[in-house]
Amino acid sequence: MFSELFERFVRETPETVMARAAMEHALAPEALDALFSKHAEQQYERELLFSSVVDLMSVVVAKVRPSIHAAYQKVAESLPVSVTAVYNKLNGIEPAVTAALVKHTADRLGPVITQMGGEAHNILPGYRVRIIDGNHLRASQRRLKATRRSKAGPLPGHALVVLDSRLMVVTDMIPCEDGHAQERSLTPEILGLVAPNDVWIADRNFCTTALLSGIADRRGYFLVRQHAVLPIHSTGTLRRRGPTETGEVFEQDVTIALGDGRLLSARRIVVRLDKKTRDGDTEIAILTNLPDDAADAATLAETYRDRWTLENVFQSLTSMFNGELDALGYPRAALLGFAVALTAYNVLSTVQAALRGAFGAEKIQQEVSGFYVALEVRVHHKGMAIALGAEAWTAFHAMTSARFAKTMLRFAKHVNLRTLKRHPRGPKKPVPKRTRFADKTHVSTARLLAKARRKRP
């Protein structure tokens, strides 16, 4: 099916081949243009297609090109529009289109991960666990006239991100153009994503009566850290439930007073921590409406800790991708950039899922670094693109999930895991007080080292 040159790349850099194949399967141009036609209400397509815009943004997000202008300059001869038209298109991409792009990627790649047997882990068997958190995009450069005189950093947007912890893909993004918006202001959009038997894990910013009752009304479940202002109507006896890795667990029944006069029954799980949080808290309280037979209090306390999985996703977007482009001041353009970074994360997550399917989930989780997977792809992507050309990848556009999963597993077997080995850092050493040379601007490192050597016995 594939040429000898293609198979040579499979043998030499299978990670790069898998990443490109997953991207082509998830982001076929025809599918992206159809997605735009379905969700765009104000913008229209003439010479510049949505798939071309996503392609330009993707090479910037992947750090292949430093800016949209540089990406455009590389392909200007094949695009029938000016760079100004490209920026105008980016600045007008509607939030509905941006959200649909992320969901489309997850819908395409999620079944492939399942077919490969590449699920990460199942926290609560029988439920779909969804972790949600917000990300305020970093301040942009002051290129827009409205921002030039602002001393405060202009925030180009805010996004809520939903992660499926079993598949380890971002299933949804809720884009918000208001960089100062709070999570609770997007409650209707969140509730629009809730399905029966979902378990939503979130921090205390999401602990509102509207969201908790809305999840319950839709036959979903929540596992949310309690906010101090939540109106608790009544509480039962606090009972000890045993130890966990972080502290002692207690549980009690509570009822929450809703705004419409109703009461919502829930379990309140209290963890008295062995070590204070970074905010100085000695205990945390978690609210859930999961039944007792779903999981015990200690298990749910440990499950809540998986909320940090999404924090790790945000960290990955920072270290592996250029997901927050500070040159894009218009909110819609900045949000599209972040959405493309999420799709890139889903692509790499699919590569790691293929490795889990080929070598075992535990081995990959413990030994393989996602950073080195991304690095391998970045190093070889350009050369592979020149050697193979776009026509080599069209076969992946219409592949069924089952066939594509089988192909990805074949590619994965060529990966040398030793080149991707994780190197976890040890515990941080305390920083000593810096009292020496307080009256100087600089000091010579060579002289300090020479002085230290002379002091050694």
Note the pLDDT tens digit of each residue in 274-287.
888 888 889 999 99
Coil, strand or helix at 267: strand
Report which of 186, 182, 185, 175 is spatially closest to residue 331, judged by C-alpha positions: 175
Q: For residue 39, give both structure tokens.
A: 């969700």
Distance CA 399, CA 405 (A): 9
Beta bridge partners of 249: 242, 271
What pLDDT is attached to residue 103?
97
What pLDDT is attached to residue 457?
63
Domain range summary for the chain, segments of one domain joined by +: 4-93+322-420
With a pLDDT cut of 70, the percent of the chain lying above it is 99
Report which of 224, 233, 236 is spatially closest to residue 198, judged by C-alpha positions: 224
Half-sphere exposure of 35 (CA within 13 A, CB side): 25
Coil, strand or helix at 189: helix
Angle separating helix axes 83-92 and 331-359, nearest 10 degrees: 80
- Rg, the chain, Cα only: 25
Angle separating helix axes 331-359 and 95-116, nearest 10 degrees: 0
Report which of 411, 200, 402 is spatially closest to residue 287, judged by C-alpha positions: 200
Q: Is 375 exposed, middle or buried (0-12, 13-18, 19+ CB in 10 A)?
A: middle
What pLDDT is attached to residue 413?
96
Residue listed under structure tokens 């705004």: 259
Distance CA 43, CA 312 (A): 35
Residues of the chain with pLDDT under 50: none
